A and B are shown apart, each in its own frame.
Chain A
């Protein structure tokens, strides 16, 4: 699915996935997927459960490295480099590609320490004042600062579900990544909290590129600019969101969107 690059093309890819296969032992979970992730856009990965979207997402920041039986072939490029190249340091990689998980997972530390964790280990701040600034800015960008400004020392686990997820987003932002991967970030939240985060994502798009796996077609239609539809480990179709939802090319896409499968 290569677009010819023209000089007038202002849309660029921040990451490209080419011919990626993922095996969990003998299970062929992701089959020959090629995908473009556009810069400063929200790309949604949709499809019925178990079709490999989360697996593919975890390939983008090499989280699958920790799983012994997982084997990956193909090429994932970021910043002109294959991230699976042996010279690439996975620690440095994850400082540039962050992740937010399905169930909010703040550390059992204070709100401040949760957000400060990333900058601390990557030595992004030279003194306490800088660290304070990073924490405050990240919380602001995640839309949480107003609510917690006076209780930064309170435990992160004491917040509500929606607040915890925004805390996790702030934590990911604090490291100043370029790309943020989100694995069904709203599926454990109520509709109001979901709406807050969706609004947040629209703001975040200005500074980051976002890839979101979502179970909800409506959410994908609401917030994303590009959509990729997965089915049984295969990437069936990808393109502009509006086109996918109004004029799908593949029968399976049509069936999913109209609710006949999934």
Chain B
């Protein structure tokens, strides 16, 4: 039987060893997050650097033509501008811009209504419904965009004499915009709720209407937080894959649509990597190089956004 002395616990050593082992195990698990990030960076950099040995970085980043087919037929890298990523980036930005143009007003005004005007009963019904929009897989949005939005736009647009390429970008952009609305809405909602009630009280006590309070007191106070939310939403739009792949492809096969305005970075990554080819072929390497660029862009946006939102929330604690 053990002594009850608090100075010497019979099981002490054994328990300490177990404690340490448990903590170590937990730490390993938690560190997986770091390893994942390292893994991502490692994968992208290794392959991209192999790619950049074949194609100069200047041509990649600043070239204006994207035509990866040429590189396979000839062993040497073809004439300049075959791996210029600029059209991909502009295509990505175009569709993301359309998406954000739709998502920002819809998301912000939804958040405003839900947090400032709606009764708690209304809010408890509408908010989960908006979350439903976020839970729908992007492949479903892509299907809807390809099957219903794009033809609708094409039929309307042809009658008005618009260029087909911007219509496809429009179809994908619209679907993407609606998909992002819940994100913008819930992030803005959090941000506006963080603004202290005391400021609202002050404004109401001065005789401001609700709209005046929201527009002139709450919005400006929440502005950094809202900016951060919009950056996060933009990053999401830039990294989106399925909607653009399906809406840009319509009924055609996966080979890239030649209209530059519609091709995005993610579409090209998918195009280059689906199909039976050797792993280290030029196509695969090019895909990783694009992915590295994509990862960098979204990472920078995310870091800035998270910093801004954190700093903003600290202000009001």
- Assess A/B contact in the complex (Cβ within 8 A): yes
Determine chain B's interface SS by DSSP, over half rule.
helix
Tell me if B198 and A103 are in contact (CB < 8 A): yes
Would you give the shortest CB distance from B223 to chain A, in whole angstroms? 10
Size band of the B side of the interface?
Answer: 10 to 19
CA distance A107 to B220 in the complex (A): 10
Tell me if B221 and A105 are in contact (CB < 8 A): no
- B188-239 residues at the A interface, CB under 8 angstroms: 196, 198-199, 201-209, 212, 216-217, 220-221
Closest to A91 in B: B207
Would you give the shortest CB distance from B116 to chain A, in whole angstroms? 10
CA distance A95 to B212 in the complex (A): 14
Would you give the shortest CB distance from A3 to chain B, in whole angstroms? 30
Tell me if B201 and A101 are in contact (CB < 8 A): yes
Closest to B316 in A: A108
CA distance A171 to B206 in the complex (A): 8
Which of B119, B120, B217 is the most central at the interface, judged by chain A CB atoms within 10 Å of its CB?
B217
Q: Is A150 an interface position by the 8 A CB rule?
A: no
For residue A98, which residues in chain B have a CB less than 8 angstroms away from its CB?
205-206
Partner of A94, one of B199, B205, B216: B205
Tell me if B199 and A121 are in contact (CB < 8 A): no
Would you give the shortest CB distance from A168 to chain B, in whole angstroms? 7
Number of A-B contacts (CB under 8 A): 64
Would you give the shortest CB distance from A118 to chain B, in whole angstroms? 4
- B133-192 residues at the A interface, CB under 8 angstroms: none
For residue A109, which residues in chain B have a CB less than 8 angstroms away from its CB?
220
CA distance A68 to B208 in the complex (A): 19
Known contacts A68-B119, A68-B120, A121-B212, A105 near B199 by CB under 8 Å: yes
Tell me if A117 and B207 are in contact (CB < 8 A): no
Q: Is A66 an interface position by the 8 A CB rule?
A: yes
Would you give the shortest CB distance from A5 to chain B, in whole angstroms? 31
Known contacts A107-B217, A108-B220, A108-B221, A92 near B199 by CB under 8 Å: no
Query: How many residues of chain A are within 8 Å of chain B by beta carbon?
Result: 27
For residue B198, which residues in chain A have a CB less than 8 angstroms away from its CB?
101, 103, 105
- A80-115 residues at the B interface, CB under 8 angstroms: 90-95, 98-99, 101, 103, 105-109
Would you give the shortest CB distance from A62 to chain B, in whole angstroms? 9
For residue A168, which residues in chain B have a CB less than 8 angstroms away from its CB?
202
Tell me if B205 and A63 are in contact (CB < 8 A): yes
Q: Is A16 an interface position by the 8 A CB rule?
A: no
Would you give the shortest CB distance from A259 to chain B, in whole angstroms? 31
For residue B203, which residues in chain A have a CB less than 8 angstroms away from its CB?
107, 117
Closest to B207 in A: A94
Q: Is A41 an interface position by the 8 A CB rule?
A: no
CA distance A175 to B207 in the complex (A): 9
1/0 per residue A114-127: CB within 8 Å of B? 00011001100000
Tell me if A66 and B206 are in contact (CB < 8 A): no
1/0 per residue A150-190: CB within 8 Å of B? 00000000000000000010011001000000000000000
Q: Is A214 an interface position by the 8 A CB rule?
A: no
Would you give the shortest CB distance from B228 to chain A, in whole angstroms? 16
Tell me if A117 and B205 are in contact (CB < 8 A): no
Known contacts A101-B198, A117-B216, A107 near B221 by CB under 8 Å: yes
CA distance A172 to B199 in the complex (A): 14
For residue A108, which residues in chain B have a CB less than 8 angstroms away from its CB?
199, 220-221
Partner of B201, one of A63, A118, A122: A63
- A20-79 residues at the B interface, CB under 8 angstroms: 61, 63, 66, 68
CA distance A98 to B198 in the complex (A): 15
Tell me if A117 and B206 are in contact (CB < 8 A): yes
CA distance A191 to B204 in the complex (A): 29
For residue B209, which residues in chain A have a CB less than 8 angstroms away from its CB?
91, 121
Q: Which residues of A contact B (CB under 8 A)?
A: 61, 63, 66, 68, 90-95, 98-99, 101, 103, 105-109, 117-118, 121-122, 168, 171-172, 175
List 20 additional A-B contacts (Cβ < 8 Å) besides A68-B120, A94-B206, A171-B206.
A63-B201, A90-B207, A91-B209, A92-B207, A93-B207, A98-B205, A99-B205, A101-B201, A105-B199, A105-B202, A107-B199, A107-B203, A108-B220, A117-B203, A118-B207, A121-B207, A122-B207, A168-B202, A175-B206, A175-B207
A-B contact pairs, 28 of them (CB 8 A): A63-B201, A63-B205, A66-B204, A68-B120, A94-B204, A95-B206, A98-B206, A101-B198, A101-B205, A103-B198, A105-B196, A105-B198, A105-B201, A105-B202, A107-B202, A107-B221, A108-B220, A117-B203, A117-B216, A117-B217, A121-B207, A121-B208, A121-B209, A121-B216, A171-B206, A172-B205, A172-B206, A175-B206
Minimum-distance CB pairs A-B, first 7: A94-B207, A99-B205, A105-B198, A95-B207, A118-B206, A105-B202, A91-B207
